[in-house]
Amino acid sequence: MTEMPNPAPTGTPAPAADEARPFGAGPPSAFAPPTPWKRRLQIFGWIVAAGLAVLMLIIAWLAVTAPMSRSLQPIAPPSISLMSADGHLVARRGAIIDKPVEIAKLPAHVPQAFMAIEDRRFYSHWGVDPRGIARAMWHNVWSDGSSQGGSTITQQLAKGVFLSSDRTMGRKAREALIAFWLEAWLTKDQILERYLSNVYFGDNVYGLRAASLHYFDRQPERLTIPQAAMLAGLLKAPSRLAPTSNLKGARARADLVTQAMVEAGYISKAQRDQLAPARLDVRESPDATSGTYFADWVLPEARDRAGAVYGAQEVKTTLDWRIQRLAEAAIRRAPLGGAQVALVAMKPDGSVVAMIGGKNYEKSSFNRAVQAKRQPGSTFKLFVYLAAFRAGMTPDDMIEDTPITTGTYRPANHGGKYRGRITLRQAFAASSNVAAVRLTQKVGVDNVIKVARDLGVTAPLTEDLSLALGTSEIPLVELAEAYASVAAGAYPVLAHGLPPEEQGWFDRLMKRQRHFSDDQLEMIRDLLSSAANRGTGSAAALRTSTFGKTGTTQDSRDAIFVGYAGGLVTAVWIGNDDNAPLPGGAAGGGVPARIWRNFMAGAINEPVEKVPEEEQDPDLVNAIANVSVETGIGNVGVGVDQGGMTVTIDGNQIRIPSDQPLPMPPQGTPPPRITPTQPQESEPQQQ
């Protein structure tokens, strides 16, 4: 009998022919495939293991690169060496320091003031405070612009004393690692002592004892609550808040510190309400200067940028060693007599490459290029004419160069010379006072001020017509910034002595420059070229394209030339510190223009040659040839114009028409020595 196959179990369908295993497939696995959640758990485990491995590698790298062992050694005193852009030493400056402090000997309110404003949880965290970081982030997101830092006192000690001042993630990681290391090996009091004994307090003062003696002339063991609060408040911005220069700001910050002490429970509100503001008793350091005008100007920013970093540091500046030497040589050669002088030279982006603040730094460290505010004279007319161009005028538009006979303000041109109806180009080159005042009347004083503010002038400006003639006092560096804006084609330009720090996108957006329109830029450059090559500033003209403007104030108290050529912007001023008139009626087109030319020719590598006598534009009111004659019988002044000649002998004037011969000197008198002088510009008339 034939055997029949076993039927399939009841309820189990027989496999269909098309469900057979595909050709080449392996045998079925003996293990069940993992469920999805187990698979995810495996992947997560691999990620955690890889992350831990990377973390260990990072910690190992940080341990090798961070100065762990050095962090427990005595701290070296700080010093800063300012270096020129081409690697020369500009100045080296040490710090004002004193003996360390001991927490046990300080009044309790002294360390409490610092902890209240810098790190309230100092005695409870392990060097890094996650709660403080989260609180600072929350405040920074929702505040109205003020910012808080999340660094602990231990982290600040690690950053300031053992690390560079860069802001990279690697530096922050090293900072945290050193903070843990310090917490492991030192007590909290030892960390706080190191911090207070070495932190920067402004005025080149490092450490609590040195700061206490400098600002209050007392030992830190005797500091009052208001004094301790003021010192603690300085740490946010030591140079900007230093009470010797910003007492109001230092006291306002001290009020925040005492309020923080109340919130931390260190003092009561009643105690705070009874506190009087701290009063200064400054102990002057024996040598507060650093060696050069430029170094004194740039050092505070260099210290703020470096922070409280200890040890020797080199800070690169924008100064060009070769150009600075050329500036000093040009000043030495100038016939200044008893007058003072200032010079500032910068690139169109504001990078200062040379600075001179006076004739002799050893005799006076007062920086006349930055600290002095003097009347700019006719150099201020740059803003007047730019305002006219903004209003739609052009260099070929006409203006009346005639006496102003209406109103209470009656300015006059130098020497009483007027030309009638002339173009704006002619008026600017001739530095006509009445034309500048008429333009200011036409466009409005407020619009002239608006242009000055746009180009970076921050000094107070008078709101009347005399503003057109440069009667408001402005630092020389701000004039240079304004003319640099024209050279760059964008404004404002800010003078700086350190290379700019990298900015975030928000800062770049908020601080971006604005650009002149092409028409306005072409027109103002046209005027500056006319003034520097054919007008009152012709003594400054170089073979390359030269742009600039002279300035001479009332009674020749100030003489200025500001201009640019070959990618360099330079401003030169001469005058007396007591504001006395310069001898001989000095003008901006005289000594300042010649200093400018001698310096610039070398700075832009143009050979210095004798200035040729150029034909002057006959339409310029101040383009009349003037000569000065010195003879054995006194000074003889000769003025030539189209109608003849005016001879001045010892103050007496003789008018000689063009059809009459010149008077001859007595027999035996040596021939006169004739020296060409530059056209005199109009001077401001202050009434």
- Amino acid identity, position 286: P
CA atoms of 253 and 280, how far apart (whole Å): 15
Q: Whole-angstrom Cα distance, residue 107 to residue 125?
A: 23
Which is nearest to 549 in space by CA: 464, 642, 479, 452? 479
Return d(Cα 304, Cα 156) in angstroms, integer.
14
In the beta sheet, which residues pair with residue 355?
A: 344
What 3 state SS string does 54-115 have?
A: HHHHHHHHHHHHCCCCHHHCCCCCCEEEEECCCCCEEEEEECECCCCCCHHHCCCHHHHHHH
CB 487 within 8 A of CB 309: no
Q: Rounded distance, CA 622 to CA 555, Å?
A: 18
Q: C-alpha distances in angstroms, 50 versus 45, 46, 47, 63, 474? A: 9, 6, 5, 20, 63
Distance CA(550)–CA(540), nearest Å, equals 10
8 A C-beta contact, residue 632 and residue 669: yes
Chunk the chain into consecutive blocks of 10 residues (it has 687) and report each block's average pLDDT, rounded to whole numbers.
Answer: 48 48 54 71 81 72 53 62 89 83 96 94 83 58 49 81 53 74 87 90 90 95 97 92 94 96 96 94 64 89 68 84 95 93 97 96 93 96 97 96 90 87 94 95 96 95 94 96 96 93 62 88 95 93 95 93 97 96 90 96 77 35 28 39 46 46 42 38 46
For residues 66 and 186, give the distance between their C-alpha atoms in angstroms, rounded to a whole number: 17
Spatial distance between the Cα atoms of 615 and 624, rounded to a whole number of angstroms: 10
For residue 260, what are the contacts with CB-CB under 8 A and spacing of at least 6? 116, 117, 120
The hierarchical CATH code for the domain 328-500+512-604 is 3.40.710.10
Task: Answer for the pair 211, 243: CB distance below 8 angstroms, yes or no.
Answer: no
Side-chain-side CA neighbours of residue 205 (13 Å): 27
Question: Residues with Cβ < 8 Å from 554, sequence gap 6 or more?
Answer: 375, 683, 684, 685, 686
**Which is nearest to 482 in space by CA: 463, 504, 508, 454?**
454
- Asked if residues 674 and 625 have their Cβ atoms less than 8 Å apart, the reply is no
For the chain, what are the domain ranges?
97-126+188-274, 328-500+512-604
Cβ pair 282, 217 in contact under 8 A: yes
Q: Output phi, psi for 91, to 5 deg.
A: -165, 150
Q: How many residues does the chain have?
A: 687
Q: State residue 160's pLDDT score.
A: 62
Cα separation, 109 vs 113, whole angstroms = 6
Please give the backbone phi and psi of residue 559, each rounded to the nearest 5 degrees, phi first: -135, 130
The pair of three-digit structure tokens given for residue 362, joined into one six-digit string: 């050893």
| Count of CA atoms in the C-beta half-sphere (13 A) of 183 | 19
- What pLDDT sits at residue 222? 97
pLDDT of 242 reads 93
pLDDT for 418: 92
- Secondary structure (DSSP) of 356-418: E-SS-TTT----TTTT-EE--GGGGHHHHHHHHHHTT--TTSEEEES---SSS-----GGG--
Query: How open is the CA angle 663-667-670, to the nearest 5 degrees?
Result: 90
CATH number 1.10.3810.10 given to 97-126+188-274:
yes
> What letter does residue 496 receive in the DSSP assignment?
B
56 touches 64 (CB < 8 A): no
Query: Which residue is associated with the tokens 């000649």?
Result: 645
> Alpha-carbon distance 35 to 163, whole Å?
51
Q: What amino acid is encoded at 634 in this protein?
A: G
Instruction: Tell me the whole-structure pTM to 2 decimals.
Output: 0.62
